[in-house]
Amino acid sequence: MAATGLEKQGADENAKAFYVSTPIYYVNDAPHLGHAYTTVAGDVLTRWHRQRGEKVWYLTGTDEHGQKIMRTAEANDVTPQEWCDKLVTEAWKPLWEHLNIANDDFIRTTEKRHTDRVQEFVQDLYDKGEIYKGGYEGPYCVGCEEYKLPGDLIEAEDGTKLCPVHKKPVEILKEENYFFKLSEYGPKLLEFYEANPGFIQPESARNEVVNFVKQGLEDLSISRSTFDWGVPVPWDEKHVIYVWIDALLNYATAVGYNENPEKFDETFPANVHLIGKDILRFHAVIWPAMLMAQGLPVPGKVAANGWLMVGGEKMSKSNLTGIKPQDLTSHFGVDAYRWYFLRAITFGQDGSFSWEDFSARYTSELANDYGNLASRVAAMVGKYFGGELPAATPTATRSRRSTRAWRRPSRRPTGRSARSWTSRAASWRSSTS
Ligand SMILES: [Zn+2]
């Protein structure tokens, strides 16, 4: 983990930290470009706040429980814990180091500092009457670790019902479970969305969530008894806590929930939860409802990024288009990699990635534009300041007139290259609307 130096900045000791999280990533496989996209975005956001002298907390980590991981481990002939340890130490942590991610913490949901607090949180809700025992039967996608509503499923050519995200058959699961009274929070959530129009971004994501909640919420099954790779329900150890309840709580347990009140107060809740849009409902519906039930403050913002598309398909390991970030950094370098994805994709929208586009922008924007700027500045420093970069002057705000005098109208790109950039930007927009 890169040092971020809360201590080395002059931020007000008592101020609340600007707290940003990535999703904790599911370690059923190695990271691909999609995971790296969100993590780099959070790194850029937090570096910007840190540079302004603000207190910052940037959290990432891994989600290690659930049936999908248990099955992956079985298929690889190791225990689930061995599987997680291997993936975290050989794939996930090294990638964030490689990409210069300055996270302040890395939480793993199999750590005791997390599992103990998850049990306390759920026990508390149970004691408050927010959780009850019931039965449930419905279509379940192991890939999503989620019961699907029948209306959400898509149909294969032979009539098989498929998960709309994974395009894989769902299983019919029947369980005796514990339920969280999510249905009671619909009106409170709608009131909250109304009072906080910026809570869910982008607008399309907000509309989707508001429409979903307006249809009425069902109570949420928060335990599983058909497998045991999870945090045991404290009052009934035949059950483990639903992996999503376990996972969402990382945002609280990592910053001192029920353990370090001082740290918790100066960090929680997150200012921004960065997520992929496929996990929007968990973060914008279930998570705030859990916090409301517990009397805790809800996050400032849930910002959903779109999908990275390769050849018109969402990129993931399961549809075989997953690309390792290292495949690109070995050619373009880490800084260019970080720059490219934030430059090329409008945050919040789907964006297509291609080697050709990366290559073209690398040459046109990094080498030609920025390279040219750097070379001119270096030449002027040589010519007018004897090769020594003068100290920055304290006048941060210059008059508009002097700014204008520096602008050279003839430098505006013209001709073929400028047009091709415009048309590329336009085609991206049309392909994502
Ligand atoms: Zn699925």
Residue range(s) defining the domain that contains residue 385: 355-432
What's the 95 CA to ligand 1 centre distance in angstroms? 26
What's the 212 CA to ligand 1 centre distance in angstroms? 18
pLDDT at 318: 56
Could you tell me which residues come within 8 angstroms of residue 357 by beta carbon, excluding any fewer than 6 positions away? 344, 424
Tokens of 388: 């020594």
Q: What is the DSSP letter of 171?
A: E
141 flagged as catalytic: yes
168 flagged as catalytic: no
CA 154, 145, 347, 373: dihedral to nearest 10 degrees? -120
From the list 49, 55, 277, 314, the catalytic residue is: 314
Q: Which parts of the chain register pLDDT below 70?
A: 1-13, 311-322, 395-433
Could you tell me which residues come within 8 angstroms of residue 236 by beta carbon, excluding any fewer than 6 positions away? 178, 223
Q: Identify the H or E element spanning 117.
A: helix 112-127
Residue 252 lies in a domain: no
35 flagged as catalytic: yes
Supply the DSSP string of 138-160, one letter for each residue: EEEETTTTEEPPGGG-EE-TTS-
What's the 260 CA to ligand 1 centre distance in angstroms? 36
Measure the N-to-C terminal CA separation of the chain; round to a whole number of Å: 37
Q: What is the DSSP letter of 370?
A: I
65 flagged as catalytic: no
Phi, psi at 127, each rounded to 5°: -65, -30
Residue 420 lies in a domain: yes
pLDDT at 393: 78
pLDDT at 390: 85
- Read off the pLDDT of residues 193-231 as tens digits, 9 standing for 90 and up: 999 999 999 999 999 999 999 999 999 999 998 899 999
pLDDT at 378: 94
Residue 198 lies in a domain: no
pLDDT at 396: 53
pLDDT at 409: 40
166 flagged as catalytic: yes
Residue 410 lies in a domain: yes
Spatial CA neighbour of 390 closest among 380, 381, 378, 398: 381
84 flagged as catalytic: no
pLDDT at 98: 98
Could you tell me which residues come within 8 angstroms of residue 275 by beta carbon, excluding any fewer than 6 positions away? 23, 38, 283, 302, 303, 304, 305
pLDDT at 234: 98
pLDDT at 84: 98
Compute CA distances 74 → 78, 80, 83, 84, 176, whole Å.
6, 8, 9, 12, 25
Tokens of 345: 């994709």
- Read off the pLDDT of residues 121-135 as tens digits, 9 standing for 90 and up: 999 999 999 999 998
What's the 141 CA to ligand 1 centre distance in angstroms? 5
Alpha-carbon distance 27 to 275, whole Å? 16
Residue 418 lies in a domain: yes
Question: Within a 13 Å sphere around the CA of 210, how many CA atoms are in the beta-carbon half?
Answer: 18
301 flagged as catalytic: no
Could you tell me which residues come within 8 angstroms of residue 12 by beta carbon, excluding any fewer than 6 positions away? 55
From the list 16, 161, 166, 301, the catalytic residue is: 166
Residue 371 lies in a domain: yes
pLDDT at 353: 84
Residue 313 lies in a domain: no
Beta strands in 342-408 (DSSP E): 351-352
163 flagged as catalytic: yes
Alpha-carbon distance 109 to 144, whole Å? 17
- Read off the pLDDT of residues 33-70 as tens digits, 9 standing for 90 and up: 889 999 999 999 999 999 999 999 999 999 999 999 99
Residue 422 lies in a domain: yes
In contact, 268 and 250? CB cutoff 8 Å: no
What's the 163 CA to ligand 1 centre distance in angstroms? 5
pLDDT at 282: 98
pLDDT at 429: 33
Q: Considering its fold, how many domains does the chain have in total? A: 1
Q: Is 222 helix (H, G, I), strand (E, B) or coil?
A: coil
